[in-house]
Each structure stands twice: as structure tokens, then as C-alpha cells.
Amino acid sequence: MPTVLCNCLALRQAARRVTQHYDHVLAPSGLKTTQFSVLAMLRRYQPISLGALAEHLVMDRATLGHNLRPLQKAGWVSLGAGADRRQRVLTLTDAGAALLTDTAHLWRAAQDGFEAWFGAADAAALRTDLAVIAHMKPSEGFISMPALE
């Protein structure tokens, strides 16, 4: 088993492999894993601003903005105006909600397939570790810009 020393490379490699698996299983729905994640998170928190949803997704605001483009074009997501006229409030359209419901069993299959191989308990423990990493803050000691400049 080849292991790499770099924590970042190890994470990216694993993410690539697992994304391939989920993408394959989700393919019949026409959704990619990232898109499914956006829609699922949106369903949970709608109505919500672009920035707030990006935080939930641990994603750059601009990235989410770009990723929403195909979802709007497909008619799954609606961008309305919020009370604050700077904000754009996101909601799931009926078509988006229906698609999410229809795709749930595919996600379940991908999730079950992975956990059957890796172990459900191991997967849960791993997710906990990953959540800690995903939500770390520089103020907690994680140094993004060390004394190198």
C-alpha cells in the first residue's frame, strides 16, 4: 500500500477516488456529487443567502456562485432578492425538490457501497475527523499564513 507523506495530497487523492464512486452511482440522475450536495444542503437550510450556504458547504462564495449556474439553468434552484438588497436568497424549485427526492436512493446506494467496503463505524469515525478539519479556524491555532512573509 503506497502511502504519501503529504496530508494534503492524501486528502485530495481520497477525495478524487470517492468522488468518482459517488459520481458513477449518481450518474443516472444527471447530477454530479457536488451538485447533489448543493441541492441537499439548500433543501435543509432554504431560504438562505449565497454566502451562508457557502459556509455550510465549506466552499468559497465565488465557487458556489459558479456552481449554481448550471443548477439555475436546469431550473432546480431559484435566486430571489432578499430583504438586504445585497443578498440573493436561494430556494429550491419544485423541480429541484422532486429531483432530490428521486435521487435519494442513488445517493444511498453510493453511501452504502462505500460503507460496506470501508466499514460503517470506520466511516463514521473518519467523518468526525474530517469535520474537525473542515471546520477548523485560524483562530484555533491553524496557521494559514505563517511567519513567512
Partner DNA sequence: GTGGTTTACGGGCATATGCCCATAATAGTC
Partner DNA sequence: GACTATTATGGGCATATGCCCGTAAACCAC
Residues that bind DNA (CB under 7 A): 12, 16-17, 19-20, 23-24, 32, 34-35, 49-52, 59-63, 65-67, 70, 79, 82, 84-89
Pick from 35, 107, 121, 139 the residue near a copy of itself by CB under 8 A. Answer: 107
- Residue 65 interaction partner, one of a copy of itself, DNA, none, beta carbon < 5-8 Å per kind: DNA
The amino acid occupying position 47 is: P
CA distance 23 to 138: 32
* Contact (Cβ atoms closer than 8 angstroms) between residue 77 and residue 35: no
Q: Does 139 bind a copy of itself (CB under 8 A)?
A: no
Q: Does 83 bind a copy of itself (CB under 8 A)?
A: no
CA distance 28 to 103: 9
Among candidate residues 104, 84, 2, the one with its CA nearest the CA of residue 43: 104
- Residue 97 interaction partner, one of a copy of itself, DNA, none, beta carbon < 5-8 Å per kind: none
Stretch that binds a copy of itself, among 72-80, 82-90, 95-103, 139-147 (CB under 8 A): 139-147
CB-hemisphere CA count at 13 Å for 2?
6
- DSSP three-state, residue 87: coil
Q: Provide the minimum distance between the beta carbon of 75 and a copy of itself in the complex, in angstroms, as a whole number.
A: 23
Q: Which is nearer to a copy of itself, 101 or 128 (CB)?
A: 128
- Burial grade of 108 (CB within 10 A; 0-12, 13-18, 19 or more): exposed
For residue 83, the Cα-to-chain-centroid distance in whole angstroms is 27
Q: Which is nearer to DNA, 129 or 149 (CB)?
A: 149
Stretch that binds a copy of itself, among 9-17, 66-74, 83-91, 93-101 (CB under 8 A): 9-17
